Structures are given as structure tokens and as C-alpha cells.
Amino acid sequence: SKDDVKHVANLARLEFTEEEMDKFTQQLDDIIKYAELLNELDTTNVQPTSHVLDVKNVVREDEVRPSLDREDTLKNAPDHEDGQVKVPSVLE
């Protein structure tokens, strides 16, 4: 309905002309009708899934590796103190 389009536009902080409201009302109605066609599908033998592909965790193994030396790293910092990078305070 036009009220639904106005509500969504308000949430998105958009302003539409009356012509645009009529156009979007029809388009939104068409989208909802098309989505409702999915209710007609027979899904009784379809297993529920969270993803359409069989995706595995692709994160690498967590292994200890050499890292930068603290002193070498702090050479790049504009200011440092007690082994840490010193930044301006952001709190009052």
C-alpha cells in the first residue's frame, strides 16, 4: 500500500513525489506477489540449510610465527612510552 511505501521511505529517510509513490507502490506489490509464489513450491523433500553450498571453514591453522621486534616496530611510531605507542587522549 502507499502507507507501506511511505513507512519504508521514512525509515530510509527518503522523500518521494506522488508519482514516485504510485510507481513504488505498484513495484513493491509486484515484488511481494512474486515472493508469495515461493509458497506454492513443494519443499517437503528439501533438507533445511543455512547455506546453499557446502562451505567449510577456510581459515588457516593458528600457528606461532616470528613477528616484528617491539623496538623495530616502535621506531615507526611518532611517539611511544613504556613499550607502547602513545596517542593523544580522546577522553576528557
Q: What cell numbers appear for 60 in the block?
A: 588457516
Does residue 17 lie in a domain region?
A: yes
Contact 26, 34 (CB under 8 A): no
Q: Which residues pair with 51 in a beta bridge?
A: none
CATH number of the domain that residue 18 is part of: 1.10.20
* Residue 30 belongs to domain spanning: 2-40
pTM over 0.85: no
Query: Total structural domains in the chain?
Result: 1
Does residue 23 lie in a domain region?
A: yes
Does residue 29 lie in a domain region?
A: yes
Does residue 50 lie in a domain region?
A: no
Contact 25, 2 (CB under 8 A): yes
Does residue 48 lie in a domain region?
A: no
Does residue 25 lie in a domain region?
A: yes
The one-digit pLDDT tens for each residue of the chain (92 residues) are 889 889 999 999 999 999 999 999 999 999 999 999 988 989 888 888 877 777 777 788 889 999 888 888 898 899 999 989 999 888 87
